[in-house]
Structure 1
Amino acid sequence: MTNQHSPALARRGVLALGLTAGVGLVGARSAAAATSVSYSYQRQQTQSWCSAASSRIALTAKGRTPTQASLAASLGLSGGSGLQDPLAIARVLSDRLGIAGNARRYRFRQPAAGTLKATLHQHVRTSIDAGYPVVINMNQVNGDHYSAGHYIAIVGYRAGDYKIADPDEPARNGVWRDEDSIVLWNKLNRYTAFGG
C-alpha cells in the first residue's frame, strides 16, 4: 500500500517515537489500560488436574486457598482422568465463594461459532473488573498442544491482550498473550466467567 496515512505507517511512526523516547512498543502496550487481579499461582499437581489448579487460581483472587485435591474431588476428577463436565467449574467456584444462588455468579459459557472473540472480550472485562479470574478451556497454549483440552486462568486484560496463568507451565504464569491467539487456541469455545 502506498498511502502515506495507512495504519501500518502510523504504527511505525508511533513505534519510532516510542523508541526515541526510550519507551518502545512493549512499554506503550502495557501502559495504563491494563487491568489485573491479584492471585496465588500453584502448578498443577498431577497431569489431569489443570481444571482444579486453574479453579484454585480463580479462588485465590478472592482469598480462598483450597487444596487442589479438594477441588479435584469437587470437580469429579478421578482415576487420572481430566474434567468430564465443563459445567462443574462454574458450580464449584460459585459454591466455594458462597455465591451459588446469586444472579451474579460464575457461569459456564459456550458462545456460538464466530462470536467467541467478542463474547470472551466482554465476559473477561466484566469478570476481571469485578475481581474474578476467568477459567478457559484451551487446545493449545503457545506451541504446546492438548488433544484432550487444557484449562488455564485469565487474570487480566489490556487492549488486544489477556494476562494468563497456566498451571501446566510456570513460565506462562502472569504473561500476556494476544486475544487472537487465545481465541484460536480455544477450539471448543468454552470458558467460565463471573457475571449475570
Structure 2
Amino acid sequence: MKHRQQLRLRRIVTASPYRASVVSAAVLAVGLTTGILLTQGHGPVQAENPSTVAVAEKIGGQAAGEMAPAPEAPAPTVTSAAPSAPPSTPPATTKAPAKPAKKAPPASKVLDYEYEAQINGWYCGPAATRIALTARDRSPSQDEVAAALGTTGNGTNSADDTTRGLNQLAKTDFYRSTFIPGAPSPAQMDQLQADVVHAISNGYAVVANIVGSATDTEGGWHAYDGGHYLTVVGYRDNGRTVQIADPAFVNGVSSYWMTTIDLANWMATRGYSA
C-alpha cells in the first residue's frame, strides 16, 4: 500500500512541469494577441494628467483649457436725494409782563388808633396791646387782652406774650418777637428802624417792652424802673424818629416822639412785637 502511494506521487510531480509550461505559453499567446489588437485599433492610451484633473475640479466642472467667465460687476445703485425739509419757523415767544416794582414806604406815617390809659398798675401790657389792636379796627376790653396775654398782678412776662396776643386777637400771623439781650448794636438799631417802618406802613402798630428811663425829643423824662409796655403808632424821617402812645398817662401825657436809637436803648434786655 505504501509503495503505491509513493509511485502515484512521483507521477504527479513528474507531470506538473509540463502542464505549467503549457499554461504559461497559452497565457503569453493571448496577451500578445490582445496587445497587437489594441495597437492596431487605437492609439496609445495616455494616462490622465493629474494637473488637468485639479484644474477641472477648481473651475467647477468645466472642461480643461476653457476660461471661466469673469464675474459680472454689480450694477451701480442709484439713490435719489431725499427732499430737504422746509426751514422750521421758531415758535413765537410771549414776554411775561413785568412785575410792578414794590412801592417804597412813605417817609413818615402815623396810624389812626384809639387811646385808652391802663386801668390799673399792672395792665400796661394789655393796655398797650389794645392800643395796637385798635389800629386794626379791633377794640377788645383790657381784661380780654389780659386773658390772652396771661397777665397777672405781676404784669406781663415778655414780648412773646404780646406777640401771641396780637396775632390771636387780630387774627393774623404778621407779628414776630425781636429781643435785644444787652446794649443794642448799630445793626439792632437799624433793624428796629426797619421793623417799625415795615409794620406801620402796612397798618400794624408795634408794642415795645422797655425798662429804665429815656428822654423824648422835647426833653421830657420818662422812667419805668420796674419795666413797662408802650405802643409805637407812627414814624417820621424814614423811621429815625417814632411816635409813642404811652398807656401810663403820667402827668396827662399820652404820646410823645423819641429817636429810634433812644428807644432801642430803652428796650435793652427786653424786646418788641412787630
TM-score interval, normalised by the smaller of the two chains: 0.7 to 0.9
Matched, 1:162 2:249: no
User: 3-state SS of the aligned residue for 1:124?
Assistant: helix
Larger RCO (CA under 8 A, 6+ residues apart):
1
- The 5-angstrom pairing of residues 94-109 of structure 1 reads 94-100=167-173, 105-109=174-178
Which structure's CA Rg is the greater one?
2
Cα deviations across residues 69-100 of structure 1 (Å, max 9, x unaligned)?
Answer: 1111111112x211124311111111111114
User: 3-state SS of the aligned residue for 2:175?
Assistant: strand
Matched, 1:81 2:159: no
How far residue 189 of structure 1 moved from its aligned partner, in angstroms, is: 4.5
Structure 2 stretches of 5 or more lacking a match?
Answer: 1-105, 216-220
Counterpart-to-counterpart distance in 1, 2:180 and 2:207: 15
Q: Among residues 37, 44, 51, which one is paired with 2:125 in the alignment?
A: 51
Using structure 1 for the length normalisation, give the TM-score: 0.74
**Alignment-derived partner of residue 26 in structure 1:** none
Using structure 2 for the length normalisation, give the TM-score: 0.54
Counterpart-to-counterpart distance in 1, 2:131 and 2:193: 20
Matched, 1:148 2:217: no
Counterpart-to-counterpart distance in 1, 2:158 and 2:108: 32
Counterpart-to-counterpart distance in 2, 1:147 and 1:85: 15
Counterpart-to-counterpart distance in 2, 1:165 and 1:172: 9
Q: Percent identity?
A: 31
Which residue identity does 1:118 align to in structure 2?
A: D
- The 5-angstrom pairing of residues 20-59 of structure 1 reads 33-59=107-133
- The 5-angstrom pairing of residues 106-125 of structure 1 reads 106-111=175-180, 113-114=184-185, 115-125=187-197
How far residue 175 of structure 1 moved from its aligned partner, in angstroms, is: 2.3
Which residue identity does 2:115 align to in structure 1?
A: Y
**Alignment-derived partner of residue 191 in structure 1:** 272
In angstroms, what is the RMSD of aligned CA positions? 1.8
Counterpart-to-counterpart distance in 1, 2:202 and 2:246: 21
Q: Runs (4+) of structure 1 moved beyond 6 Å? A: none
Counterpart-to-counterpart distance in 2, 1:66 and 1:189: 25
Which residue identity does 1:128 align to in structure 2?
A: I
